[in-house]
Amino acid sequence: GAGVSQSPSNKVTEKGKDVELRCDPISGHTALYWYRQRLGQGLEFLIYFQGNSAPDKSGLPSDRFSAERTGESVSTLTIQRTQQEDSAVYLCASSPGTAGEQYFGPGTRLTVT
């Protein structure tokens, strides 16, 4: 019954490698968001999917970051050629539509060594 789930919960990778982070939103939620939280900072918006509309990618920090969503379900955030500054907790959230509060997953803690 679940809430938003994310995998893996922790990921350690070497600089330069690619990583994929997965998010399973709450069933029936049409909107899905990715945020990241670097140490000591607030949550930083990355990308937003709403139904079949074009995603809002305005928060992606570089072209090394991309995300996909399959219909109204699973989303994958991919970071290519990871850098140490990519180390953060990556949080996924979903909501039932516009004007709804967002429900967050537990996050994936990414450490780039």
Partner 1 sequence: DQQVKQNSPSLSVQEGRISILNCDYTNSMFDYFLWYKKYPAEGPTFLISISSIKDKNEDGRFTVFLNKSAKHLSLHIVPSQPGDSAVYFCAAREIGGSEKLVFGKGMKLTVNP
- Count CA atoms closer than 13 A to 4's CA, side-chain side: 26
**Number of residues forming the site for partner 1 (CB under 8 A):** 27
Per DSSP, the residues of 41-90 read --EEEEEEEETTSPPB-TT--STTEEEEE-TTS-EEEEE-S--GGG-EEE
39 makes contact with partner 1 (CB under 8 A): no
Only segment of 11-19, 63-71, 77-85, 92-100 that touches partner 1 (CB under 8 A): 92-100
Structure tokens at 83: 């850098």
Q: Which of 40, 70, 71, 84 binds partner 1 (CB under 8 A)?
A: 40
Contacts with partner 1, residue ranges (CB under 8 A) = 4, 31, 33, 35, 40-45, 48, 50, 56, 58-59, 91, 93, 95, 98-99, 101-107
